[in-house]
Structure 1
Amino acid sequence: MPDPLKYNKNFDKLSYEEKQLLEETKKSIADFVEQSPSISDVNYATRNAHAKTYAVLSGHFIIDPHLPQDLKYLFDKEKYEVIARLSNANLKIKKNKKDIPAYGFSIKIKDDTGRTISNYPLVNFPLFPANSVSVFLKMFTNINKFYAKKWGNWISFAKNIWKVIPSLMTFSFIKHSIALFLKRNDFILSFDYHSVGVYRLDDKMMKIKISPKDIQKKFGTRKEVRSSVKSYFASNDYETEVFIQLCYDLKDQPINKLNIEWKNSPFIKIGELRFEKNSFQNSISCDNELLSFNPFESAEIFQPVGKIQKLRDEAYKVSLQTRKKINKLLKYK
């Protein structure tokens, strides 16, 4: 393999128009979170994406002893503490209804002192539906306004949805959409989870995938997802392998084109995530809504890369600040 491409901050640069649209999106996020207790009929403020928490888990990230020599310097411990959050991508928490199988598996990796090293919001669908930052921001702003009952122009929203459609017509996107449909009833812990966006690995750039070991795909399928996860951890450990792909060529591994899979980049195992039985924590709690998995709250060498990723920084901060303001009041009411 050739040498991996080096990170360049130009991959992250937003245009003036994109920055202006981001400001409007941030306002819509704050409005949504402020109204989220009534939107989802819960007694706390939720996130404006992946609102439903199925479980919060505590476990460990075990470094692979056979890690390639040129990566070993990045991990000075054999084991790191991990906090994980299982979630659903919907903005609104549905009750007594079957959720769409769009799941999240967010990971917070900490050192021995409890300091966060890196955050990785992973999802069970490896691709992103939009490459244009402007189109995505306009669409997401309109969605937030709709839920917050500040619905404006239907025509504008329809136009933005229409502009996303071409990004959904790639071979990769269609293939994974069909695969997700066929696995729609599978147990949440049986899926692979992906970073979708790109991250730094010091001066290199990577994507991340975790794959479970020895898991029953149909475990607890007749139960609600939260109940099935709780039931699983009552008597089972959970292990998942952690792989990365490195960027060698922008043609085969594009940074800002997230609707196609990377190719010609082998998966490299860097370790395993291990969660022992009884690691399930109370998922319905204001404290868990104060947890942040903002990937920009990571060490510099593990920061996100790319324009779509850049949007997450401000969006996560606004969402967390608004949740903190509301949930701290609710917690001590």
Structure 2
Amino acid sequence: MPKPLRYNKNFEKLSYEEKQLLDETKKSIIDFVEYSSTISDVNYATRNAHAKTYAVLKGVFIINKDIPQDLKSVFDSEQYEITTRLSNAHLKINKSKKDVPAYGFAIKIKDDSGKTISNYPLVNFPLFPVNSVSIFLKLFTSLNRFFVKKWSNSFSVLKQIYKVIPFTLNPSFLKNVFKLLLNKNNFILSFDFHSVGAYRFDDKMIKIKVSPKNVEKNFGKKQFVKDAVEDFFKTNDFESDVYIQFCYNLKDQPINKLNVEWKNSPFIKIGEIKIEKNSLLNPKSCENELLSFNPFDSAEIFQPVGKIQKLRDEAYKVSLQTRKKINKLLKYK
């Protein structure tokens, strides 16, 4: 078995132009969040991605006793308390029954003292539609401005979407699009959830997959997703396996090419997530609405890796700071 590649900070180094574009994106995030209560017709400021919360839950992450010692030393406790948030990726909170099946499963792992050691915002689609930092930033900025300014910014959105299309025209991406379309009506908790980008695992680099066990795909098929999740946890426990893949070489496991799957890297089970029935928290409470799953608010050995990942740090922070300022002024409860 080859040795995994070691982490190098050059994987996430941004150019001067990319840093300038990121500053523009941050301004658009602030504008979006400040206007978000009107966009989504709610009485609080929302996130500017994954705005809709289906559920916030408490659970545990149990480390597999059979994993090699060098992996076990990274997570040195037998189990950890976790907080999870189920969400929809849309920037706007859709109040209709039918949501686009772009789901989030964010995990906050805490140590015995209650301190967060790692955040993992996972999604049910394993790939990212663009590798170019500049194209992504321009697209995200134009989307934020579209929701604030509506049709006056529609041409810019279409222009950036056109630039993204070539990145999606490869067998790996198209295969996963087809798979999602086939399963688009499945229950949210029956999907696998993935880290789109890579993360550090001490001095190594990994991708993560969470796979549910024995969840009925047709559960709550005629319900709103939020109602189906709440009904599920009234009577069912949730269990899922947690797997990682190591990066051994950049040809087969590219760090900054997010539109293709990693190959020739086996999935290694490192543990299980367990959420007991009746573990639902109030998603509308100020404390839970203001939860942040910024993957950079993690211990150094669990930090994200890659240029697209690097953008999340400042984007998450400016979004959270703006939400906190507005929601505390509103005394949101």
Partner of 1:149, secondary structure, is helix
Alpha-carbon separation, structure 2, partners of 1:69 and 1:256: 29
SS in 1 for 2:149: coil
Q: Which residue of 2 aligns with 1:35?
A: 35
Question: 1:149: Cα distance to partner?
Answer: 1.6
Hey, what does 1:92 align to over in structure 2? 92
Q: 2:153 & 2:119 partners in 1: Cα distance?
A: 36
For the residue of structure 1 that corresponds to 2:108, the secondary structure is: strand
Superposed CA deviations along residues 272-299 of structure 1, whole A, max 9, x for unmatched, are 0000000111223332221000000000
Distance 1:72 1:329, change over 3 A: same
Residue 330 of structure 2 aligns to a residue whose secondary structure is helix
- The aligned residue for residue 110 of structure 1 is 110
With over 3 angstroms needed to count, the CA separation of the structure-2 counterparts of 1:155 and 1:148, relative to structure 1, is closer
Deviations 1:66-118 (CA, angstroms, capped at 9, x unpaired) = 01122111111101000000000000001124100000000000001110000
Report matched runs for 1:5-24 at 5 Å: 5-24=5-24
TM-score, normalised via structure 1 length:
0.98
Amino acid at match of 2:113: T
1:321 aligns with 2:321: yes
Structure 1 CA distance for aligned equivalents of residues 253 and 151 of structure 2: 38
Written as runs of structure 1 = structure 2, the 5 A alignment for 1:174-189 is 174-189=174-189
Q: Distance in 1 between matches of 2:45 and 2:182?
A: 33
What are the equivalent positions in structure 2 for 1:112-191 lying under 5 Å apart? 112-149=112-149, 154-191=154-191
| Unmatched segments (≥5 aa) in structure 2 | none
What is the aligned partner in structure 1 of residue 51 from structure 2? 51
C-alpha displacement of 1:199: 0.2
Closer, same or farther in 2 for the Cα pair 1:97/1:214, shift >3 Å? closer
Give 1:10's aligned amino acid. N
Q: TM-score, normalised on structure 2? A: 0.98
Identical positions, percent: 72
Letter in 1 for 2:299: A
Q: Distance in 2 between matches of 1:189 and 1:158?
A: 32
CA deviation map 1:111-162 (0-9, x unaligned): 0111000000000000001100000000100000010127655444333211
RMSD, aligned CA: 1.2
Asked if the contact 2:130/2:136 (under 8 Å) is kept, the reply is yes
Distance 1:332 1:199, change over 3 A: closer
Q: Which residue does the alignment assign to 2:307?
A: 307
Which residue in the other structure is 1:192 paired with?
A: 192
Q: After superposition, what is the alpha-carbon deviation per residue over 1:157-181, rounded to whole angstroms, capped at 9, x for unaligned?
A: 3332111001111111111111111
Q: Secondary structure at the match of 2:199?
A: strand
Amino acid at match of 2:204: K
CA distance in 2, matches of 1:158, 1:181: 23
Opposite residue 136 of structure 2, the aligned amino acid is F
- Specify the alignment match of 2:256 in structure 1: 256
Q: Secondary structure at the match of 1:258?
A: coil
Q: Distance in 2 between matches of 1:332 and 1:70?
A: 45
Determine if contact 1:107/1:121 at 8 Å carries over to the other structure: yes
**Residue 271 in structure 1 maps to residue 263 in structure 2:** no
Unaligned runs of 5+ in 1: none
Secondary structure of the residue aligned to 1:185 is coil
Distance in 1 of aligned mates of 2:25 and 2:206? 28
Would the aligned equivalents of 1:44 and 1:286 in 2 still touch at CA under 8 Å?
A: no
Letter paired with 1:227: D
2:218 and 2:50 mapped to 1: Cα distance?
Answer: 23
Where do residues 185-264 of structure 1 align in structure 2 (5 Å cutoff)? Answer: 185-264=185-264
Q: Which residue of 2 aligns with 1:73?
A: 73
Equivalent AA in structure 2 for residue 211 of structure 1: S
